[in-house]
Amino acid sequence: MKRQLEIKNMTKSIYLAALAALLLGSASVYAQDQLLTNFPAQTGLNVQVGQLQCPLQVQGLDIRDGSGNVTVSVPLLSANASTTVGDTLYAVIPPDVNNQVTVAVMYQANLDADPSTDGEVINAAQDVLNHNNWTGSTVVIRDIAAGGELLPQGTQFWICSSTGYLTLADSTGTVYVAGPPAPTMSSSNPLVSALMYSAGSASATTTGTGSSASTQ
């Protein structure tokens, strides 16, 4: 009987570990919001305000209050009355296999401007290359996809302004780069229910095998 319980507990532990891996895996696939360093006012031309530790499907900006609740969601390439960005917030994707760096503008004071010909953004991009010692890299400057875009691990977030004053702030809370909401991992989730069913079946099989062994 003791051996039977040990096997049963081991089986449960394996499935609980698998369930935990499923939950953590979902959290990484559906990456959470990325906090940006908020600047109510800062002297400067170009400064890094964040970096991704894991891939993120960027969908916009979230404004969170002191309790961490989202109060406002700001779409990409759009303005928000309470949020100040001076003048450009952009993502920098590190060099790819072709040594190409991508600068994807997320917000610009002049929403009609072409970032690829904007002197402010071009100068800022060169500053980023120098800062990261990405010598010999080519740069592509473009708007981020308005509907959202998957940014890889290591992507940096910068703000720049030709006026000499940098701002990234919201009067109602803290600015985050927003990813999609994480899925609710309840028993109604097909993956979770399937795993729970498998765990139950395995426990039942183990118990039956143990009973049979004890009678011999």
Phi and psi based region of residue 133 (left: phi greater than 0; alpha: psi -120 to 50; beta: remaining): left
Q: Hey, what are 126's tokens?
A: 């060169």
Q: How far apart are alpha carbons 98 and 34 in whole angstroms?
A: 27
pLDDT in tens, 195-208: 555 555 555 544 44
pTM of the predicted model, to two decimals? 0.72
Task: Select the more confidently predicted residue: 41 or 138.
Answer: 138
pLDDT in tens, 158-208: 999 988 899 999 999 999 999 987 655 555 655 555 555 555 555 554 444
How many other CB atoms are found less than 10 A from the CB of residue 102?
A: 21
Q: Give the pLDDT mean for 107-124.
A: 90
Task: Report domain extents, the chain.
Answer: 1-30+183-197, 32-178
The secondary structure of 63-110 as a DSSP string is: EE-TTS-EEEEEETT---TTEEEESEEEEEEPP-TT-EEEEEEEEESS
Helix (H) or strand (E) holding 138: strand 138-143
* Arithmetic mean of pLDDT over the chain: 80
Nearest to 5 by CA among 182, 216, 213: 213
**Range with lowest mean pLDDT among 54-58, 74-78, 83-87, 151-155:** 83-87
173 DSSP assignment = B
pLDDT in tens, 54-69: 999 999 999 999 999 9
Do residues 184 and 23 lie in contact, with contact meaning Cβ atoms separated by under 8 Å? Answer: no
145 DSSP assignment = P
117 DSSP assignment = G
The residues pairing with 88 across neighbouring beta strands, listed in sequence order, are 108, 160
